[in-house]
């Protein structure tokens, strides 16, 4: 008996040509691996189940049967070096969805899109916010300015000269960052660790792998427009070490379809 949606029997892999290449491997009755090579950020690979068997000889192929009523689609998914399943970045194609081509009540074929994150639960791994470290050094001079910037969030601290130490100065800057904007920060010695949290609390942020795609900037100047007596060890760094759950349990009941 041929079961529908068996990876080793009736699933196919397609990919964006000519910039990408992908293939199914390790297929069995219960799982598979799809791997590929990408050359640009819009590359994609897709796994498809087709009602119509277009590969085998007409005398041997199974009859087309698109009836999926009563079925529940349940699987575990792990992604590596791809857009993470939980990513909420603007989609450049339909990667966040299970796409279903099916006729509506009038018989006209429609494309239905099922948002996977709605039906996904993490079962392995955990969230960690991406961060970048910056160290401030030099002499404190009243009238100087030091700051940290991310997109439209710019946190500029006017040096008053009363701070006494760089540690105290950085504490004042972190107070300005806390509770506002898309980033959070903590200090260790004269080093500030800037986290990308998208405005969430540091301990509960679920930005995950998204954060690794962005950079943060620093600056230092004097009130006269010249060089500051303070300086950062780097003017910019990409966020790194952000993590999302590694394995997701996806369970999609029938019917889940949303028309978008």
Q: What pTM does this model have?
A: 0.81
Cα 127 from Cα 41, distance rounded (Å): 23
Residue with tokens 């949303």: 258
Q: What spatial distance separates the first Cα and last Cα of the chain, rounded to whole Å?
A: 35
Q: Which two tokens stand for residue 28?
A: 């069995």
pLDDT score at 257: 52
At residue 147's C-alpha, the angle toward residues 137 and 197, to 5°, is: 110
pLDDT score at 256: 56
pLDDT score at 260: 40
Q: In three state form, how does the secondary structure of the chain look?
A: CCCCCCCCCCEEEEECCCCCEEEEECCCCCCCEEEEECCCCCCCEEEEECCCCCCCCCCCCCCCCCCCCCCCEEEEEECCCCCCCCCCCCCCCCCCEEEEEEECCCCCEEEEEEEHHHHEEEEECCCECCEEEEEEEECCCCCCEEEEEECCEEEEEECCCCCCCHHHHHHHHHHHHCCCCCEEEEEECCEEEEEECCCCCHHHCCCHHHHHHCEEEEEEECCCCCCCCEEECCCEEECECCECCCEEEEEECCCCCCCC
Cα 222 from Cα 80, distance rounded (Å): 45
Cα 76 from Cα 123, distance rounded (Å): 9
pLDDT score at 255: 58
- In this prediction, the residues of the chain whose per-residue pLDDT falls under 50 are 1, 258-260
């Amino acid at each position: 008996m041929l079961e529908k949606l068996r990876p080793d029997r009736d699933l196919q892999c397609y990919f964006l040509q000519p910039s990408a290449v992908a293939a199914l491997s390790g297929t069995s009755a219960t799982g598979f691996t799809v791997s590929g090579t990408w050359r640009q950020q819009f590359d994609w690979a897709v796994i498809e189940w087709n009602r119509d068997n277009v590969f085998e000889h007409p005398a041997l192929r199974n009859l087309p049967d698109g009836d999926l009523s009563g079925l529940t689609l349940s699987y575990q998914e792990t992604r590596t070096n791809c857009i993470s399943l939980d990513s909420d970045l603007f989609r450049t194609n339909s990667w966040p969805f299970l796409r279903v081509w099916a006729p509506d009540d009038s018989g006209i074929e429609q494309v239905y899109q099922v948002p996977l994150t709605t039906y996904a639960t993490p079962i392995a791994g955990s969230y960690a916010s991406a961060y970048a470290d910056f160290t401030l050094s030099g002499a404190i001079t009243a009238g100087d300015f030091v700051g940290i910037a991310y997109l439209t969030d710019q946190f500029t601290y006017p040096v008053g000269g009363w701070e006494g130490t760089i540690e105290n100065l950085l504490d004042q800057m972190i107070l300005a960052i806390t509770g506002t904007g898309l980033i959070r920060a903590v200090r260790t010695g004269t080093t500030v660790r800037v986290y990308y949290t998208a405005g969430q609390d540091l301990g509960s942020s679920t930005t995950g792998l998204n954060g690794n795609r962005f950079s943060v900037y620093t600056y230092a100047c004097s009130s006269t427009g010249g060089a500051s007596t303070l300086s950062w060890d780097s003017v910019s760094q990409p966020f790194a070490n952000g993590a999302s759950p590694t394995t997701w349990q996806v369970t999609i009941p029938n019917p889940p379809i949303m028309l978008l």
